[in-house]
Structure 1
Amino acid sequence: MNDEIDATPGPHILVVDDEPHLCELLAYRLEHHGYRVSTELSARGALEAIEQTSIDAMILDLRLDDADGLEVLSEVLKRSPDVPVVILTAHGTIETAVEAIQRGAYGFLTKPFQDYELLQKLAHAVESGRLKREVAGLRRIMGDASNDSRLLGTSEAIAAVRERIARVAPADATVLLLGESGTGKELAARSIHALSPRKAKPFIAVNCGALPAELLESELFGHVKGAFTGASRDKEGLFAAARGGTLLLDEIGEAPHAVQVKLLRVLQEKRFTKVGSSAEEEVDVRIVAATNRELRAEVSAGRFREDLFYRLHVVPILMPPLRERKDDIPLLAELFLRRAAARYNLAEPHLSPEALSVLLAHSWPGNVRELANVMEGVILLCQDKRIRPQEIKAILSPPARPPGSGPVSERTAQAEPPPAEPEPPSARWASGVGEPDAPLPPLRAARDSFERAYLVEALRRAGGNVSAAAKLAGRNRTDFHDLLRKHGLSGSDFKA
């Protein structure tokens, strides 16, 4: 090789061109901007180089003395598929550019070129290659990244969680998953199940805070006919449905006292009784519990049984918030973009370095769940294959009020969607801020007012993009358009 690879930090670029003067010029320019550069004058030397050392990106001339550049490109990608290749040529045509891209080239530059063009293209290529290598590394560690039971990430924090899961999964011990909402507690529970001897049996999750006490007890343990009004037949509960498998008790801190008592008996004696029955039944279920509450504080306040806490707290696993594992953000963002692109049958865009900086600077109060939702919204707003900072910010910080509505703080802008007309009493009542003595509107009027206010807010958050607003609302685009027509709304009224 013509240049020795030094130990200075910076991405390693391989320049392949049969003109020595151009190689020297490119090496000088790139080294000035912090890159490490090696040069080769032939296709044979280039292929030997990628076998001998790690390359972050390649600049490849399309016309070499000993080979056709497109053939070299194919061979490079066959040997090192994660290396982004920027094609450089003085004979650029649209057809050649298209063929190079079709064969896998990252980009295409025509001589003569400006320094800023080369540097910008190279910076994006290096970042793209880094993300590809991270994805490949994660797949080697975790297997198929499309599997929803996988905890994604390469940071030390999430690696420690995976290691603990791998240790406890084969045993049948009760696991308590702790952490903020959106940190992946259910994914951790699924990973525990997938790595356990119970993996061939059912995995069932129930949110203990989503159901009233009587209904939750019946859902968990089942009931007999006549146990309560409406119990017209016997019903098996989730403990019976999960027999032999794993039951995730999500938001266990919100379980009512009566349910806590029965759960304690299940953990202590592996037995339960259906609602309205006196006959005990044996249970063969592994319990994994999850909560975003501080259970010790709940015990001190008398809201959670101390004995149940210690029964659940056999193996605690703390899920780290995303702000403490920011090294994972580029990889997670890339994976979520791929999933969203596949879901909506869209071309897969890539994050610009500036957009990635916006993601890294955000505090992510909603954690991984928030990042996934942001990436899904961004892909609907993206105008081309490159995601820019403003498209990230459009989701993280919804557009301000329409002109003429006066200044407003970010918090107020997020909390108060601007009504297109004075809010009727029914809307104030539906939103819970009506006067106690105000006339009660008809149910239909209250429902319509709430529906219209909801549509206005969805459009405002999506910046007038109807597809993005429909996704935020959980409706398909056709139904959403019908709702907009019903209320006389248009997405164009909300575009900045």
Structure 2
Amino acid sequence: MNPRRCILVVDDEPRLREVIADALDDLGYRTLSADSAEAALQRLAVEPVDLVLSDLRMPGQDGHALLQDIRSRHATIPVVLMTAYSTVKDAVQMIKEGAFDYIAKPFEIGELSATIGNALRLSAALQDNQRLRRELESRYRFDHLIGASAAFRRVIGAIAEVCESRANVLLTGESGTGKELAARAIHYNSARRNEAFVAINCAAIPEGLLESELFGHVKGAFTGAVSARPGRFVQANGGTVFLDEIGDMPVSIQAKILRVLQERVVEPVGGSQSRSVDVRVIAATHRDLREAVRSGGFRHDLYYRLNVFPIELPPLRERREDIPLLLAHFLQELGKSSERPMPAFTPAALRLMERYSWPGNIRELQNCVERAVIVARNGSVDAGDLPAELHEPVSSENGGLPSDLDAELERLERRFVLEALARTNGVQVQAAELLGISERSLWHRIKKLGINIVKRPSST
């Protein structure tokens, strides 16, 4: 038992408080005491408490009023009520109003121990869920969508526009461009953020199982269905369903998805009763759905239902100027998980990375950074530490001329500014000297290019 778990015992009878405190001490808990609800609230204001054990009937403010105050001021602290047999009915009502449980007087210490243990375990689970939700919300804030290129700024703008609407969203783009990250950003920045985000890869589940996964099944619906099971749409009720790789969904299932979107009901496999659901659908695919519609591989009516708000995520080769920002982000994340200094990437390594076409897009870049950090020597990643495919000759297109001169010039300007800032750890005066320009001119370029300056912590 964790000795740091603290229980506040509230009762107007001194002898009973003393007996309970001694018993809890023997069980390994730390205890605090209060002889009234008012005194208990004063202690809660200044002392960290994991659970409140309170008598229901007390002079002045009773256990019911104390419960209400705790629920409003300290919602994560579980409350267990002690009550005489004649007030059990009242205690049951208190559970409906937020108490964890009640224990009837007189009680055995074993019964008290079991009740407190259950309350603390549930409280810990709820706190873990809240922590995980905060981490998810933090992870999918807009500032974690990395990129300042014009192409990616358009994506951010579209996500910001659609978040608060109820519209279905269709995310398109090559594999590895961050479609699921965008879907989660939409969900966690929408009014549905406190409800479930349920993702399913339509290409990873066999056709025979996909219908059951999506809509659930009743007991005995098929061999192995030993019990009823809700589907992903029911699990996401009130929240968001993310249908990844919907372009690979069998046509037979597409008709049933269309019914969900039109009628907002699902019918489990083997069942005859429909269930209403309130979900937002975000779909994603790397395929050309318009071509699939023309060839008969995708239902045109489903396509138009999904394509209410389309967002296309650009491949990394069309946003090369974002590579230094993504690189810095991945290094920061790796540094958090490994708790050790991350190596710097040399200008030669960065040039190779910016020249490469990245067919696997952001996912491939992330894998490349993780590998490079492992093989790096002497505190830096050089060109020789990068995978062999990055060293292959770049095919010449357009006779060696850029297809978009303005974009290419902006990319080069960004690269040089970022490299100068990296060498000087974000000190603009020194970076301007390296570039041979005034500090004011550098400031204007930083503002124009949308560069966020992050200084690395000193290694000393």
- Match for residue 170 of structure 1 among 164, 167, 182: 164
User: CA 1:395–1:340 in 2, change beyond 3 Å: closer, same or farther?
Assistant: farther
Q: Please say if 1:189 is aligned against 2:187.
A: no
Q: Secondary structure in 2 aligned to 1:243? A: coil
- Aligned pairs for 1:387-402 (under 5 A) are 387-394=381-388, 396=390
* Alignment-derived partner of residue 147 in structure 1: 139
1:78-130 C-alpha deviation (Å, 9 max, x unpaired) = xxxxxxxxxxxxxxxxxxxxxxxxxxxxxxxxxxxxxxxxxxxxxxxxxxxxx
CA distance in 2, matches of 1:276, 1:337: 50
Q: Please say if 1:309 is aligned against 2:303.
A: yes
CA distance in 1, matches of 2:251, 2:174: 23
- Match for residue 151 of structure 2 among 131, 153, 157: 157
Shift of 1:274: 0.4
- Aligned pairs for 1:106-125 (under 5 A) are none
Q: Secondary structure in 1 aligned to 2:340? A: coil
Q: Which amino acid aligns with 1:386?
A: S
Q: Secondary structure in 1 aligned to 2:271? A: coil
* Alignment-derived partner of residue 245 in structure 1: 239
Q: Please say if 1:201 is aligned against 2:195.
A: yes
CA contact (8 A) 1:207 1:250 kept: yes
CA distance in 2, matches of 1:285, 1:315: 16
Q: Which amino acid aligns with 1:372?
A: Q
CA contact (8 A) 2:353 2:390 kept: no
Shift of 1:145: 11
- Match for residue 294 of structure 2 among 297, 300, 305: 300
CA distance in 1, matches of 2:220, 2:341: 56
Q: Which amino acid aligns with 1:320?
A: P
**TM-score, structure 1 normalization:** 0.50
* Alignment-derived partner of residue 230 in structure 1: 224
Q: Please say if 1:288 is aligned against 2:282.
A: yes
CA distance in 2, matches of 1:390, 1:357: 12
CA contact (8 A) 2:140 2:188 kept: no
CA distance in 2, matches of 1:270, 1:360: 46
Shift of 1:393: 3.5
- Aligned pairs for 1:208-223 (under 5 A) are 208-223=202-217
- Match for residue 328 of structure 1 among 312, 322, 326: 322
Q: Which amino acid aligns with 2:286?
A: N
CA contact (8 A) 2:193 2:239 kept: yes
Q: Please say if 1:385 is aligned against 2:364.
A: no
- Match for residue 276 of structure 1 among 270, 273, 278: 270
Q: Secondary structure in 1 aligned to 2:211? A: helix
Q: Which amino acid aligns with 1:147?
A: R
Q: Which amino acid aligns with 1:155?
A: S
Q: Secondary structure in 1 aligned to 2:230? A: coil
CA distance in 1, matches of 2:340, 2:367: 16
Shift of 1:144: 11
Shift of 1:354: 0.9
CA distance in 2, matches of 1:359, 1:146: 29
1:3-34 C-alpha deviation (Å, 9 max, x unpaired) = xxxxxxxxxxxxxxxxxxxxxxxxxxxxxxxx
Shift of 1:338: 2.2
CA distance in 1, matches of 2:136, 2:256: 39
CA distance in 2, matches of 1:215, 1:144: 29
1:297-335 C-alpha deviation (Å, 9 max, x unpaired) = 111111111111111111110001000111100010111
Shift of 1:342: 3.1
CA contact (8 A) 2:266 2:277 kept: yes
- Match for residue 359 of structure 1 among 334, 353, 358: 353
User: CA 1:395–1:333 in 2, change beyond 3 Å: closer, same or farther?
Assistant: farther
User: CA 1:146–1:365 in 2, change beyond 3 Å: closer, same or farther?
Assistant: farther
Q: Secondary structure in 1 aligned to 2:242? A: strand
Q: Which amino acid aligns with 2:186?
A: I
- Aligned pairs for 1:449-464 (under 5 A) are none
CA distance in 1, matches of 2:350, 2:330: 14
User: CA 1:251–1:171 in 2, change beyond 3 Å: closer, same or farther?
Assistant: same
CA distance in 1, matches of 2:194, 2:224: 34
**TM-score, structure 2 normalization:** 0.54
Aligned residues: 258
CA distance in 1, matches of 2:287, 2:181: 18
CA distance in 2, matches of 1:145, 1:244: 17
Shift of 1:394: 4.7
- Aligned pairs for 1:20-99 (under 5 A) are none
* Alignment-derived partner of residue 253 in structure 2: 259
Q: Please say if 1:346 is aligned against 2:340.
A: yes
Shift of 1:211: 0.5
Q: Secondary structure in 2 aligned to 1:230? A: coil
Q: Please say if 1:337 is aligned against 2:331.
A: yes
CA distance in 1, matches of 2:374, 2:234: 42
Q: Which amino acid aligns with 2:270?
A: G
CA distance in 2, matches of 1:169, 1:243: 18
Q: Which runs of 5+ in 1 are unaligned?
A: 1-142, 399-408, 410-496
Q: Secondary structure in 2 aligned to 1:377? A: helix
Q: Secondary structure in 2 aligned to 1:279? A: coil
* Alignment-derived partner of residue 37 in structure 1: none
CA contact (8 A) 1:145 1:152 kept: no
CA contact (8 A) 2:368 2:387 kept: no
CA distance in 2, matches of 1:245, 1:397: 45
1:418-449 C-alpha deviation (Å, 9 max, x unpaired) = xxxxxxxxxxxxxxxxxxxxxxxxxxxxxxxx
- Aligned pairs for 1:12-23 (under 5 A) are none
CA contact (8 A) 1:377 1:395 kept: no
CA contact (8 A) 1:334 1:350 kept: no
User: CA 1:389–1:163 in 2, change beyond 3 Å: closer, same or farther?
Assistant: same
User: CA 1:367–1:348 in 2, change beyond 3 Å: closer, same or farther?
Assistant: same
Shift of 1:148: 4.5
Structure 1, 336-345 or 380-389: larger mean CA deviation: 336-345
1:26-59 C-alpha deviation (Å, 9 max, x unpaired) = xxxxxxxxxxxxxxxxxxxxxxxxxxxxxxxxxx
Give identity over the alignment, percent. 49
